[in-house]
Structure 1
Amino acid sequence: MALYLIPNTLGDSAIDSVIPSQIKEIVNSIDYYVVEDLRSARRYLKKLDIKKSIDELHFTELSEHTKQEEIPALLQPAKEGKNIGIISEAGCPAVAYPGALLVKLAHEQGVKVIPLVGPSSIILALMASGMNGQNFVFHGYLPIERIDRIKKIKQLEDNAQRLKQTQIFIETPYRNNHLFQSILENCNPNTLVCIAADITLSSEVIITKSVAKWKQTNPDLHKRPVVFLIG
């Protein structure tokens, strides 16, 4: 019995270009899945050409709305000797996703945890940014309220300069442009900012510039998956 952490694509990428063939083999040994979104998980398994009937598999959703007391029941199949797979909507599960709570519980209860190789937008963005890859922090989402967001951006910039620490964060795609403008308006001209958009997709753009140089351009980040980095 094991809990498999199954990476998903980061968008409409060709499966064979981003997902190792090993994953196709492993999903055929799993009947129980914990997923962030049922529809997208079923679509993903179909793209993997799973040999089992999708309708015969068992799916349980685990999202930000799942109550903590509901999580232990998700491990029950493992206690009965069955393998379980976790699939998030995009990228690697249990990173910036509630699946981490299930992984923690698996360790506590002696269930083997097996992470599988696949795309991580956070790591790929860091790799391509040219920023410090030995000292970095992922913050997830920044505050929505304008004053709180500005305060946080200035704090991240200070950490980047003072600690030589790369600051990584994301935003809901429809708010990307607003966040980007806040960064340009509140950071020093020499501060480096990386925009990593549509990673692994044909429309991928990964650019690192100073704030001063970013102000000379006008990238449209609206409704695109973007990872922001400050260094």
Structure 2
Amino acid sequence: MSEHDHEQSAVTGAATAAGAGTLYIVATPIGNLDDLSARAGRILAAADLVVAEDTRRTGQLLQHLGVRKSMLALHDHNERDRVPRVLAELRAGRNLALVSDAGTPLISDPGYVVVREARAAGIAVVPVPGPCALVAALSAAGLPTDRFLFAGFLPAKRAGRRAELESLRREAATLVFYESPHRILETLDDILSVMGETRELVVARELTKTFETFYAGPVAQVRACLAGDPNATRGEFVLVLRGADPESAGAGADGLDVDRMLRLLMAELPVKTVAKIVAEATGLAKNALYQRALALKGAESE
């Protein structure tokens, strides 16, 4: 028996002891089809049913593999309704492969409800790891990876997006976001306004695909690069943003609400004077406070 056969036997044996099949969570390519692992290919070929976010897109992948499979559509709008069908298939002893359109399922993709319910029912859930856009972007961004916070997609509307960014402004961990092409420039405008012009940013576009591109530098510079590139607003984006510098974040070491201080003083004084006063009061860098004050003033004027 091969190592692969032993693995399959052990997993299947544990599941069929209760008469149930196994739910495999299969990572698929985010662009380059060669990134599909051999194990993922075997699981897809052997599965009794493929549960797919978009059956048309997954059908293209299966065709590339030379595999014909029954598929069940499961997406954001029908996931809860699909749970009984999925559990019934698994309880009947069938092995299912859950895939998203691209990358690792459940990472800003559907599947959470199904996985949770399957585990609650005592059904084996087995990850088949592989491509993931956020990990790929982090690995090549050149920003700290010892701590990072994945925030998925920011809200579609500007007010909600800015509120979300404001809540993350003091976060010291590297921040990772996904964004769509039709909102990328607006999102960068909001990051610039809330986080400041100099915060370090890496934007990864079309990862693993023919036109893969990285834009890196201060937020203002990256925004200008994308605005000047006619192809830059096409494709899928991952944004990797350096976390807040403790010495220039919105709260001082003593816990003072520096933003509130800036706003109160700006109601009476010029921005340059405000930055100088708050720098003397908190020990924070005057230049960083000046940039932050400008960002706050700009946000309030819109």
TM-score range, shorter chain: 0.7 to 0.9
Structure 2 Cα separation of the partners of residues 58 and 198 of structure 1: 30
Report 1:151-170 matches (<5 A): 151-159=163-171, 164-170=172-178
Structure 2 Cα separation of the partners of residues 121 and 93 of structure 1: 11
Count of residue pairs brought into register by the alignment: 219
Give the one of 213, 219, 225 matched to 1:217. Answer: 225
SS at match of 2:117: helix
Relative distance call for 1:156 and 1:215 in structure 2 (3 A) is same
Tell me the equivalent position of 2:239: 228
SS at match of 2:165: helix
Contact 1:184 1:214 in 2 (8 A): no
SS at match of 1:195: strand
SS at match of 1:27: helix
Tell me the equivalent position of 2:209: 201
Contact 2:185 2:226 in 1 (8 A): no
TM-score (norm 2): 0.67
Relative distance call for 1:67 and 1:91 in structure 2 (3 A) is closer
Tell me the equivalent position of 2:24: 4
Give the one of 90, 110, 115 matched to 1:78. Answer: 90
Tell me the equivalent position of 2:59: 42
Contact 1:106 1:112 in 2 (8 A): yes
Relative distance call for 1:69 and 1:42 in structure 2 (3 A) is closer
Structure 2 Cα separation of the partners of residues 199 and 70 of structure 1: 31
- One-letter code aligned to 1:203: F
Structure 1 Cα separation of the partners of residues 182 and 45 of structure 2: 36
Tell me the equivalent position of 2:43: 26
Larger relative helix fraction: 2
Relative distance call for 1:43 and 1:211 in structure 2 (3 A) is same
Moved more, 193-202 or 169-178: 169-178
Report the CA distance between 1:157 and its aligned residue: 2.8
When Rg is computed on C-alpha atoms for both structures, the one with the higher figure is: 2
SS at match of 2:182: helix
Report 1:74-113 matches (<5 A): 74-113=86-125
Report the CA distance between 1:200 and its aligned residue: 0.8
Deviations 1:62-104 (A, max 9, x none): 1111152431321222111111001111111122112121111
Moved more, 191-200 or 20-29: 20-29
Deviating beyond 4 angstroms after TM superposition, the runs of 4 or more aligned structure 1 residues are: none
Give yes or no for the alignment of 1:179 onto 2:187.
Answer: yes
Report the CA distance between 1:148 and its aligned residue: 2.2
Contact 2:169 2:194 in 1 (8 A): no
Superposition RMSD on alpha carbons, in Å? 1.9
**Unaligned regions of 5+ residues in structure 2, if any?**
1-20, 243-302
TM-score (norm 1): 0.86
Structure 1 Cα separation of the partners of residues 223 and 80 of structure 2: 44
Contact 1:135 1:165 in 2 (8 A): yes
Larger relative strand fraction: 1
Which structure ranks higher in relative contact order (CA pairs < 8 Å, sequence separation ≥ 6)?
Answer: 1
- One-letter code aligned to 1:27: L
